[in-house]
Structure 1
Amino acid sequence: MIGTRGVPARYGGFETAIEEIGARLVAAGHDVRVYCRGAESRLPEHKGMRLVHLPAVRHKTLETLSHTALSVAHLLRSPTDVALVFNAANAPLLPLIRMARIPVATHVDGLEWKRAKWNGTGQRYYLMAERLAVRWSRELIADADAIQDYYQKRYHAPSVMIPYGAPIQEGCDQELLSEAGYKAGGFHLVVARFEPENHVDLIVEGYLRSRATLPLIVVGSAPYAEEYSRRIATLAAGDERVKLVGGVWDQDLLDAMYAGCASYLHGHSVGGTNPSLLRAMGAGAPVVAFDVVFNHEVLGGSGAFFADAGQVADAIEAVEAAPEAARDRGDRGRERARKHYTWDDVAARYERLCLDLKAAR
């Protein structure tokens, strides 16, 4: 598994997927190797997966590709039956894997070229990388039907649709919440990296327009978006109801926050199946999401939606006016996650894909 920060998972959706899928593949009897970067402790193994730690250039446009290049160089000296490459940005390195006669599947992620952090050159690179991933991957992996449709329509390229899984929580650890200063049902929640396409500023602006009495807890930050982060901080500074708490790395506490929030506000707009959204659904959080096809696909009929600050304000006020109705939506979201987004099913589909790739080698 190549192209991410690796495991233990502490950063994003790719890393969580690798941890959940990789551990299950190990349990099924497979040898799994994960390439890692930036780990505080360089563990040789995690949940049965063998970890290879390699450096990377600390720059937003070079970090992923530089680390993947070193990972591929290591891979060529230590062959494997199948390589799973995460992120289409790594596509220029696929020919090297193919030259080694290693079948490769590329998880293309979302529409990365639409992210505001990339300038014209970055956008052109990601569009080129999409084309190269189509050309040089034995299989493409899409994590949503809408991403699958995009590659079919734009490139006439088939793909395998495998979503992420959702951890299911039946209740909330209220004691843990209380220790951290929160009360179950007593706050609205945002969990997101501070990037324009995640619309954290829009959510904060909408909240400020509302007559909400419950505070808005904003979990997240961004390593390369200082100007955008300052905008969010400036908005929040005008109202003591908004609490910017930075990253929450205690996963048990974060689980309790998802399960205990009055509403979870999800502004992501350019990804496919978003892991943070699934985590909120699995916890039974009432979700208010940005109005894009990806979020509609995941939530089905269990979500409320917004497209501007006024609609954010309306949605928050509606949650506070009718908390039982909001909780009912959250319960329906959890049942949808339980039915459609299980890690056991996701891992089984990855196992089937890898066995097919090996058989066709």
Structure 2
Amino acid sequence: MPSVAIIGSRGYPSYYGGFETLVRRLAPYLADAGWDVTVYGRPGLAADDPDRDERVRSVITPGVESKKLSTLSYGLSASSSAFARHPDVALVLNCANGYWLPILKARGIPTVVNVDGIEWERGKWGRSARAVFRGGAKLTARFADELVFDAKAIGEYWQQNFGRDGEFIPYGGDARPELPVEPGLTSGAYALVVARFVEENTINEFADAAERLAADHDVVFVGSSGYGGEIDQRIERLAAANPRVHWLGHVKDDLRLHSLWQHAGAYFHGHSVGGTNPALVQAMMLGAPIIARDTVYNREVLGGSGLLVAPDAGLIAEAADRLVRSPDLRALLGGNAKARAEAAYTWEGVCDRYESLLWAYATGQARERVRADVRAALPGLLGLPAAAEQPEPAQEPVERTVEAR
């Protein structure tokens, strides 16, 4: 039975963000495929979560729970624990954990790293934090055995800036039958935003737009900063002053969140830094009519199935008002978004690609492939004529020791 350690999320099961969504889907999938799965996490996870798969081992390690130190401190303690446990392969989430890859390499544990977005471009970080993230990225480029990019544009960035290629594996979404409408709301009659309350998610601009929209429509905010702050306080004041503005905070219940997307008259996706965003993919899978901030990442994911706007409150309000008032346009955009998600962003496809990649490194097949690529390229690198091609000897198929899906 191959073993994998997953490092860098808040744990299993957790409902905090994109990495946590990935882990909730991937960990049970790997267990189904016969893997011994360990997910490292932080204190505070609910032990009685009904969605927990008991086959997935959850290991809590110590760390500093703060905005600047949590990722690094928990990454260090998780990597140290994995060093002792010695799994066949480690899936590491977030290139900030590049500082700890030498620990795993010293133990001979191959590492597959999902680099996440371009963290050092996020407005929430100061100069020192951005330098830390960029340093982690450089170490990831140096020490990781394999990189995973959740968007093609992220892969291009890493190739241009760090000279590393990798595998493109996005996020997936869940299809749902029609769900009941959130109490107090009317299907198709409200504008919705689902995001962490940070500047690069265009929350302030949407809040400005909400003040205009709330004259005629309900407006729903889902999310928070996670640490409190000015944006949280602003949304709280906005909701207190206008009964048409609803702040639901962080919604842990997937069915409730999916219902909000499914019945939205307009969903605004303002994320500007990062690759394929799980919230956007999930909204597409549920047929939400989408308005997205115009970025290379959102254009890549939507593929023309949503409206793109600049980060301007007037433009956001105008697009949302247009959608809420137009059932035909909502149906067209929602149908196109759902079709694209079903073709390109299913969890089955995402998890299968991760499992295949992890299997290659756990069994050493990936290393043999790299050695073969180097041997083939060596004559050209040395300026020598290429060797004459010889037919490859027949090889016995490699038997997998896990039950085929």
Question: What TM-score results when the alignment is normalised by the length of structure 1?
Answer: 0.94
**Alignment-derived partner of residue 116 in structure 1:** 123
**Alignment-derived partner of residue 241 in structure 1:** 244
Measured after TM superposition, the shift of residue 283 of structure 1 is 0.8
**Alignment-derived partner of residue 231 in structure 2:** 228
Give the conservation status (yes or no) of the 8 Å contact 1:117–1:225: no
Q: For the residues of structure 1 that align with 2:228 and 2:46, how far apart are their CA atoms? A: 26
**Alignment-derived partner of residue 59 in structure 1:** 66
Give the conservation status (yes or no) of the 8 Å contact 1:79–1:102: yes
* Percent identity of equivalent pairs: 39
Residue of 149, 167, 172 corresponding to 1:165:
172
Measured after TM superposition, the shift of residue 236 of structure 1 is 5.1
Are 1:89 and 2:96 an aligned pair?
yes
Residue of 154, 157, 177 corresponding to 1:150:
157
How do 1:188-199 and structure 2 match up within 5 A? 188-199=191-202
Give the conservation status (yes or no) of the 8 Å contact 1:216–1:242: yes
SS across alignment from 1:32 = strand
Q: For the residues of structure 2 that align with 1:79 and 1:48, how far apart are their CA atoms? A: 18
SS across alignment from 1:289 = strand
Are 1:330 and 2:334 an aligned pair?
yes
**Counterpart code for 2:148:** I
Q: For the residues of structure 2 that align with 1:15 and 1:145, how far apart are their CA atoms? A: 21
Residue of 293, 307, 313 corresponding to 1:309:
313
Give the conservation status (yes or no) of the 8 Å contact 2:41–2:59: yes
Are 1:184 and 2:187 an aligned pair?
yes
Give the conservation status (yes or no) of the 8 Å contact 2:266–2:291: yes
Give the conservation status (yes or no) of the 8 Å contact 2:287–2:334: yes
1:61-115, Cα deviation, whole Å (9 max, x unpaired): 1111111111111111111110010001111000000000010011100111111
Are 1:289 and 2:276 an aligned pair?
no
Q: For the residues of structure 2 that align with 1:262 and 1:30, how far apart are their CA atoms? A: 42
Give the conservation status (yes or no) of the 8 Å contact 1:43–1:51: no
Give the conservation status (yes or no) of the 8 Å contact 2:114–2:147: yes
Give the conservation status (yes or no) of the 8 Å contact 2:14–2:21: yes
Are 1:6 and 2:11 an aligned pair?
yes
Structure 1: tracts of 5 or more residues without a match: none
**Alignment-derived partner of residue 354 in structure 1:** 358
Measured after TM superposition, the shift of residue 333 of structure 1 is 0.5
Measured after TM superposition, the shift of residue 201 of structure 1 is 1.2
Are 1:343 and 2:350 an aligned pair?
no
Give the conservation status (yes or no) of the 8 Å contact 2:306–2:337: yes
**Counterpart code for 1:60:** K
Structure 1 pair 262–47 and aligned structure 2 pair: CA distance change class (3 A): farther
Measured after TM superposition, the shift of residue 172 of structure 1 is 2.8
**Alignment-derived partner of residue 279 in structure 2:** 276
Q: For the residues of structure 1 that align with 2:167 and 2:54, how far apart are their CA atoms? A: 26
**Alignment-derived partner of residue 200 in structure 1:** 203
Measured after TM superposition, the shift of residue 42 of structure 1 is 4.0
SS across alignment from 1:95 = helix
Are 1:131 and 2:138 an aligned pair?
yes
- Larger deviation: 164-173 or 1-10? 164-173
Measured after TM superposition, the shift of residue 225 of structure 1 is 4.8
Residue of 26, 29, 37 corresponding to 2:31:
26
- Aligned pair count reads 357
1:269-306, Cα deviation, whole Å (9 max, x unpaired): 10111011111111111011111011111111111012
SS across alignment from 1:264 = strand
Are 1:48 and 2:51 an aligned pair?
no
Computing the radius of gyration over CA atoms, which structure comes out larger, 1 or 2? 2
Measured after TM superposition, the shift of residue 24 of structure 1 is 1.0
**Alignment-derived partner of residue 299 in structure 1:** 302
SS across alignment from 2:91 = strand
Q: For the residues of structure 1 that align with 2:332 and 2:260, how far apart are their CA atoms? A: 18
Q: For the residues of structure 1 that align with 2:34 and 2:328, how far apart are their CA atoms? A: 45
1:38-76, Cα deviation, whole Å (9 max, x unpaired): 334347973521111223211111111111111111111
1:123-173, Cα deviation, whole Å (9 max, x unpaired): 111111111110110011100001011101111210111001111124232
**Counterpart code for 2:246:** K
Structure 1 pair 130–146 and aligned structure 2 pair: CA distance change class (3 A): same
Residue of 254, 265, 268 corresponding to 2:268:
265
Structure 2: tracts of 5 or more residues without a match: 1-5, 368-405
Runs of 4+ in 1 over 6 A off after TM superposition: none
**Counterpart code for 2:336:** R
CA RMSD, Structure 1 to Structure 2 (Å): 1.8
Give the conservation status (yes or no) of the 8 Å contact 1:164–1:273: yes
Measured after TM superposition, the shift of residue 207 of structure 1 is 3.0
**Counterpart code for 2:44:** A
Give the conservation status (yes or no) of the 8 Å contact 2:13–2:45: no
Residue of 12, 15, 24 corresponding to 2:20:
15
- Larger deviation: 21-30 or 208-217? 208-217
Q: For the residues of structure 2 that align with 1:293 and 1:227, how far apart are their CA atoms? A: 28
Give the conservation status (yes or no) of the 8 Å contact 1:302–1:333: yes
Q: For the residues of structure 1 that align with 2:33 and 2:285, how far apart are their CA atoms? A: 25
Residue of 85, 99, 104 corresponding to 2:111:
104
Q: For the residues of structure 2 that align with 1:181 and 1:251, how far apart are their CA atoms? A: 19
